[in-house]
Amino acid sequence: MRNRTKLFLTLIALICFAFASPKKVEPKQINVVIDAAHGGEDFGSTIAEITEKQIIDQVIAKIQAFNKNKNIIIHYTRSTDRFIPLKDRTDFINTIKPDLVLSLHVNASPNSNTSGMEFYVSKESNFYEKSNLIAENFQTKFLDSNYKVAEIKNANFHILKNSEVPAVIMELGYLTNDIDKKNLVNNNEQNQIAKKIIECFSELK
Ligand SMILES: [Zn+2]
């Protein structure tokens, strides 16, 4: 009987212990590669003095500065203003094997009325479905903030097709559209975009 009581008390103690100190679940580390488009002699879309690579570098500097989440580790295909061939970019991405590669660009069109953000994923990627889900999350996040965002498009760009991880290209807006251009070079707008991108990173699973 005494033994049984002992056993009973031990069991109660164990159960209490199990409930009192639940195992701490370490937050998941999220690895992202940001692919800064163009660089060096490759300016990307250019209107007067404004260049695509310059806008992208400004937004990336803000992402870097605003990311206070120690569980979001961001790697960059280029950290200086120099040209990196596409193959070197995907070789780097495939070595890191991040949870996402986000390639940032700024658009241009012969039609000055064309405007808004765009997201691209590739159906030829083995990670098409995951990429599409992530792009949908980005799209929703920016639509909620009153950005004009187009449907997610399918394209077989090198980065999308050859990254062996989920990959999304994000076009921040059109330099050839007056309103987009004004926003793209605006400090506050760039801050908002950078913050939204970090929010999307934190939701990667
Ligand atoms: Zn570009």
Ordered structural domains, the chain, with CATH: 28-202 (3.40.630.40)
The pLDDT of residue 115 is 96
Q: So what's the pLDDT on residue 28?
A: 85
pLDDT at 19: 58
Measure 65 CA to ligand 1 centroid, in angstroms: 23
Average pLDDT score, the chain: 91
Kindly report which listed range (24-33, 108-117, 172-181) carries the lowest average pLDDT score. Answer: 24-33
CA of 1 to the centre of ligand 1 (A): 79
For ligand 1, the distance from its centroid to the CA atom of residue 158, given in whole angstroms, is 12
Q: How far is the CA of 37 from the centre of ligand 1 (A)?
A: 6
The 10 Å CB-count burial string (b at 16+, else e) for 86-109 is eeebbebbeeeebbbbbbbbbbbe
Give the three-class secondary structure for 14.
helix
Give the mean model confidence (pLDDT) for residues 3-9. Answer: 64
The rounded Å distance from CA 6 to ligand 1 centre is 72
Provide the residues around ligand 1 (an ion) whose CB is within 5 A: 37, 44, 105
What pLDDT was estimated at residue 146? 80
- pLDDT at residue 22 in the model: 59
Distance from the alpha carbon of residue 205 to the mean position of ligand 1, in angstroms: 27
Q: Which of 15-19, 131-135, 196-200 has the lowest mean pLDDT?
A: 15-19
Model's pTM, two decimal places? 0.86
